[in-house]
Structure 1
Amino acid sequence: MPQASTKPTASSRDIGMDLGTANTLVYARGHGIVLNEPSVVAVRAGTVTAVAVGAEAKETIGRTPGSITAIRPLKDGVICDYEAAEEMIRHFVRKAVPGRRARSRTRMVICVPSGVTPVERRAIVQASTRAGARAVHLIEEPMAAAIGAGLPVDEPRGSMVVDIGGGTCEVAVISLGGIVTSRSLRVGGDRMDTAITDHVRKEHGLLIGERTAEDVKVAIGSAWPVPDRPELENRSFTVRGRERVGGMPQTLQLTSADVRAALDEPVQAIIAAVRATLEECPPELSGDVMEHGIVLTGGGALLPGLDLRIASATGIPVFVADDPLDCVVLGTGKCVENMDSLF
């Protein structure tokens, strides 16, 4: 996962936000990416008072006393805890836009999954408005990802993007500035972490936390053997957890083959979404996708071998974007730089 980072900005009032399930990134007009922090809020029990937000709050997951609860306000790409989401957005806006007067005139562009309902869209707009935004414009994540990856979205040519975030996988074919066909799948990095914890519990009788599962995924996770990186096949990772039966602390050595087996179900779900989207694609655009390939963006694109596995399943070349983690927020940033045409 990317390291949390912030840097001060001048009084830019227009910002773009990739409000992700795992991480939130903020782009300030004229300054680029100014904030990248985990989407986590630590609150005191029985109140809505935030004790910590972002990187500081993430450190408390699984380690808080009974009086403090660590909350992830977004689940599967949409708000599941309205008050915590509002507090988190307000905190990030304050860090990205210094000065109360500047914040009172802030205009925001926010990414949303292509499959969100009108109620979910309204929740995001209301939370952002209550957090201080004067005006809010929503952009669908696959479009932002394609723009950030440098795909020719305005041309009469089919471009296919697969954006795998923490909560959702967005698959879309884009042409002439619009989404022709798409799939929004609530499978992403979080689902992969859950698959690892379930596999370790069922196959090895060991209970591990989500942070440990994420560490395992990053360290030795893969979706397919990578021919030019044979060293990946020989890796192992030591996890510490609690025995399912005895309840005592225990350690376990996991191999890359173990983790690949654990990740098989979410990876297959992503492949099924890609195939379903291709089946609905008009023939002319399908030819474009065959010629130019599929582009992977998002943190899930960094899973070794995922591009090879999708290519094997579809018969289409698959490429990982140059900067997959930042594609969505960079695409949002291009909209922010042209903010005046949106409002």
Structure 2
Amino acid sequence: MPIAKVHRISASSPNDVSGLEAAIASGRIDPKGVIAVLGKTEGNGLVNDFSRGLATTALTLLFERHLPQAEAAQICLVMSGGTEGGMAPHWIVFERGKGEGGRSPALAIGRAHTLQLPYEQLGRLGEVDQVAAGVRAAMEDAGIADPADVHFVQIKCPLLTAQRIAEAEARGAAVATRDTLKSMSLSRAASALGAAVALGEIDRAAITEAQIGSDWSLWSGRASTSAGIELVNHEIVVLGMSKDWSGPLAIDHAVMRDGIDIEPVRAALQRLGLGAAGQLDPAQRNKMVALLAKAEASHDGRLRGHRHTMLDDSDIASTRHARGFVCGALAGLVGHAEIYVSGGAEHQGPDGGGPVAVIVDRG
């Protein structure tokens, strides 16, 4: 019976894989079982954030030292740039092993890689359909048949660059936008809607191309998408609960309606056995293996009736403000800031809010 293992490892720089290397050397991590690595790197999280590519290269070289190149290439490397505020750079390593005994149902992990996305399909229905198929493939890889058992879908999606736009236009194809920063938003949006379709949250027939990145009434409560320059396809990781898996780990999710709505997250922690009226105490904190969240500045420029200026700052992108803000709110709840907060929550939770997933060790 498969058993999921999750390791959270601190990083001193985007290419610092020494903690993973030490865990492999000690036998704590078996590279043959690694399914995915999620990383928070201290770049700007924008088009020119090459910290993500540096991290991906460092991880690839690490795993190629322990695995054949083809096997190393199957590991999903989902790098999220931007550790604003007190957010701590770190890796979250997802590993699949085998064993008997332990509690069931338990955390189940699946992954999928899509083909390269034609650049003219980015931010359009073609990307929605490709991601929906990829999420279904990742669910199958995890052995999860019922979408209701999925608690989080982490997707790394591509973006447009000037060179990619020129390549599409040379073929006579028109891209959705020539604004490379806007392309990040559209790619995240289409990918989130694809996940929502696969999970049965939104009817595919009800989505029009004009709604992608504009109709905030359409959203998924379990999708997390992150766009990056370091890939041209989609890497998809599905996390859920399955009776066919065993082990001490369990996952639950919540949806924050805005950046300070921590009570749904507290409720998810309580469902997993970490009940606390205030901040988690050290013993409970040690049982919380990983906290994953999305962050977004609301498009109306308001937060519970008061004006915010995240959208008006010409010096710092709103996604950077939102990441630091949401990380601070969640850190006050759980007692540390080694939290995976990804910015840009288009169609990921209600406008200004976002999905959150908590992984806990019940052992």
- TM-score for the superposition, normalised by structure 1: 0.29
Highest CA radius of gyration, 1 or 2?
A: 1
Question: Which structure's relative contact order is higher, taking Cα pairs within 8 Å and 6+ residues apart?
Answer: 2
- TM-score for the superposition, normalised by structure 2: 0.27
